[in-house]
Amino acid sequence: MRVTIADVARAAGVSKSTVSRVLNAKAEVDAGTADRVREIIARLGYVPSSRAVGLARGSSRTVGMLAPSLTWPWMSEVLQGAVDAVEAAGYGLLLFTCNRGRESMTRFAAQVSARAFDGLLVVEPEDEIGAVVPMHRAGLPVVLIDDRARHPAFPSVSTTNGLGGELAARHLLALGRRKPLVITGPPRFGCVRERLAGFVRALEEHGVGHDPRRTVEGDFTERSGEEAVEKLLAEGLDVDAVFAHNDLGAAGALRALRAAGRRVPEDVAVIGFDDIPFAACTDPPLTTVHQPLRAMGEAAANLLLAHVGGHPPPETSVALPTELVVRASAPHP
Amino acid sequence: MRVTIADVARAAGVSKSTVSRVLNAKAEVDAGTADRVREIIARLGYVPSSRAVGLARGSSRTVGMLAPSLTWPWMSEVLQGAVDAVEAAGYGLLLFTCNRGRESMTRFAAQVSARAFDGLLVVEPEDEIGAVVPMHRAGLPVVLIDDRARHPAFPSVSTTNGLGGELAARHLLALGRRKPLVITGPPRFGCVRERLAGFVRALEEHGVGHDPRRTVEGDFTERSGEEAVEKLLAEGLDVDAVFAHNDLGAAGALRALRAAGRRVPEDVAVIGFDDIPFAACTDPPLTTVHQPLRAMGEAAANLLLAHVGGHPPPETSVALPTELVVRASAPHP
DNA sequence: CTGAAAGCGCTTACAG
DNA sequence: CTGAAAGCGCTTACAG
């Protein structure tokens, strides 16, 4: 049999109430009694049952995290950050994905209704945000991470996408490049629009116009990066730089440029976005706009934890700073 | 107020016992009564509280997963597989890492003592396995994934590492290569010893001896792959192939070979191990021994779920098949 | 086939 | 400062 609060109470010669007070560090316990109880607890190796505590208190000291898929290259860092923060707070992290489509969401909704966790972290919601809204309305604390659709109803954590675009543009300008190709992600994502806007803004501030034909829509895959380069070259447009909205796309661009006989960075400087581990391993290694992914996961978790803990919902959304990581594909001037 | 089983019972004009029986699909309920109760449940949108069910039943329909770190390149796939299987079974997955060292393990142990989950998945245990043994002994079902130390006390899921080594060797032999460099991982890992043994065995079966100087110990980093190649070349040994025990190491080898002016695959054919997504993006794309990571995660979760469900612990350990994925770094003969 | 009651292991007013 | 009792929302023998 596992040891319960009753066992501790009996061994200490006090009531369960008193043991509970010691456990929860309530002030009104006699110091001597408290010490004795603590000693018994240690001796018996007693740990309160999380299920019983949860039922009695009406909360589970657990938060949920819903992500579309775990295999996106930057999910790992975000997840690690969230796990670290949640763990540090003594909470547990219950992980869900929408990997199996409708069925996933049905099961997930059941867990929400069952009050399996006290708050929810949602990563990059697209379709599933529709399902999250009513949960939030029903009282579930929610924090979004990298909200691509810019849903204003939720607190969220993101990164300075616009500034990231500016950083890329300024670096290319400093390298003397004036004819950049921009390979975007799907324009329905807020982050994509912000990265593009920041990039173009910085060019214009330097008196460099951006020919719309130099903006090619991609879908964040390596293949789409390749195709974007091929398309531009086929159109006969000059290129002396590439700014891809993610590292995978930039890797595709590197490949297409090599295939076309263009040297990187001599002929074409290439900058990516994200700074996934893989970025340091391309040939040449990729200059890229670093997203503080782990910090974003941590910040989101801490925001949620504060919210769950009953604190007033803090700043509705925070944007952590991007920074340019310079490697050989677009070296220092 | 949230709706409870008492509300349903009242609305249906039955006792809580009966509602509970319907909920848990016990046989002994009148069909008509059951239908009526189900209708009320649907109308009220009632979902049983997981905390209350857990307390009453003594189990939480949740499994834990402990991983050293989430940012290893192949963790994502394993985790996704585990999440999928756990989710399909209607369970929740509580995620823990040892990322914060001792403190992580202390907190984790507390969760175990608190009976926060019914079973545990442990990924690639090294140090933490010492902490898991007593938990297992105390009755916690445990399944290991990719147990590098070959701990016999636990059921585990791994891959056919020896066969993977053989596949690599046979492919290189078919390409006419006779002087391979093997870049291993830390030899304390069982998987490393198996990969090497399988590789050497296949060579010898073809009458090709393996000079021990051609085996260089790495540590699974890209840098160690680079260094292994540099070392061998510095020693003046001939090389016409590389078999690295992971893809990162193979990527390092590619880089060092290029730096040394060796063409891949013409001069040196290169084979990696793992088949992480990045393997398709190297230059040239990497031929590698594919580990069925997602399937391993799924299999481990299903093994654990069966165990938790009270089924007799099935085969003590399963090894899922590796297969060779041929890309340009070591093309078809 | 169905219900009343006890029990799961805690917390928390309420008295004292 | 401390204890007895009710309550959290279920499940499960035990009767009938």
Q: What is the pLDDT of residues B176-203, one digit of tens each?
A: 999 999 999 998 888 899 999 999 999 9
pLDDT, mean of residues A17-23? 92
**For residue A9, which nucleotide's C1' is closest to its Cα?**
D3
Residues B240 and B273 in one domain: yes
- B172 lies in a domain? yes
In a domain, B259, yes or no: yes
Judge if A178 and A259 occupy the same domain. yes
In a domain, A326, yes or no: no
- Report mean pLDDT in 10-residue bins for chain B, 333 residues: 88 92 84 90 93 92 93 90 94 91 87 93 80 88 80 85 97 97 92 95 95 94 94 93 96 93 96 91 92 96 88 77 96 92
Distance of alpha carbon B107 from alpha carbon B98, whole angstroms: 10
- Which among B83, B113, B114 has CB closest to A70? B83
Examine the domain organization and report whether B189 and B275 are in the same domain: yes
- For residue A262, give Cα distances in angstroms to A230, A256, A270, A275, B170: 12, 9, 11, 23, 37
Span A285-295, pLDDT tens digits: 999 999 999 99
Q: Would you say residue B331 lies in a domain?
A: no
Residue B149 sits in the same domain as residue B202? no
Same domain, yes or no: A167 and A281? yes
Shared domain for B299 and B288, answered yes or no, is no
Is B83 in contact with A62 (Cβ distance < 8 A)? no
In this complex, the residue with its CA at the shortest distance from the C1' of nucleotide C8 is B56
The partner residue sitting opposite B283, judged by closest CB among A47, A49, A283, is A283
A249 to A179, A234, A331, B125, B176: CA distances (angstroms): 18, 18, 19, 35, 36
Q: Gap from A45 CA to C12 C1', in Å? A: 25
Beta partners for residue A66, in sequence order: A96, A122
User: Does residue B181 form part of some domain?
Assistant: yes
Q: Chain B: nearest CA to A147, how far in angstroms?
A: 21
Note whether B41 and B131 are same-domain residues. no
Structural domains of chain A, count: 3
Claim to verify: residue A204 and residue A298 sit in the same structural domain = no
Which residue is listed with tokens 């907190």?
Answer: B107
Helices (H) and strands (E) in chain B, counts: 12, 12
Residue A304 lies in a domain: yes
Domain presence at residue B330? no
Closest residue in A to B252 (Cα) is: A281
Q: Transcribe B85-103 into DSSP letters.
A: HHHHTT-EEEEEE-TTTHH
pLDDT of residue B294: 95
User: Could you tell me the CATH number of the domain that includes residue B135?
Assistant: 3.40.50.2300
> What's the rounded Cα separation, in Å, for the pair A242 and A149?
25
Q: Are the C-beta atoms of B329 and B271 separated by less than 8 Å? A: yes
CB B236: neighbour CB atoms within 10 A?
6
pLDDT at A63: 96
More confident residue, A228 or A312: A228
Q: Which of A57, A70, A226 to mutate to test the interface with B (most CBs of B within 10 A)?
A: A70
- Of B189, B186, B236, which Cα lies nearest the Cα of B211? B236
Q: Please give the Cα distance from B259 to B247 (Å, whole number).
A: 18
- Length of chain A counted residue by residue: 333
Whether residue A40 is found in the same domain as residue A79? no
Torsion angle (degrees, nearest 10) of CA B224, B227, B232, B234: -170
Domain coverage including residue B278: 161-292
Q: Are residues A204 and A125 in the same domain?
A: no
pLDDT confidence band for A315 (50 / 70 / 90): low
| Neighboring chain B residues of A80 at a CB cutoff of 8 Å | 69-71, 97, 99
A66 within domain boundaries: yes
Alpha carbons A330 and A250: distance in angstroms, whole number:
12
In this structure, are B211 and B279 located in the same domain? yes
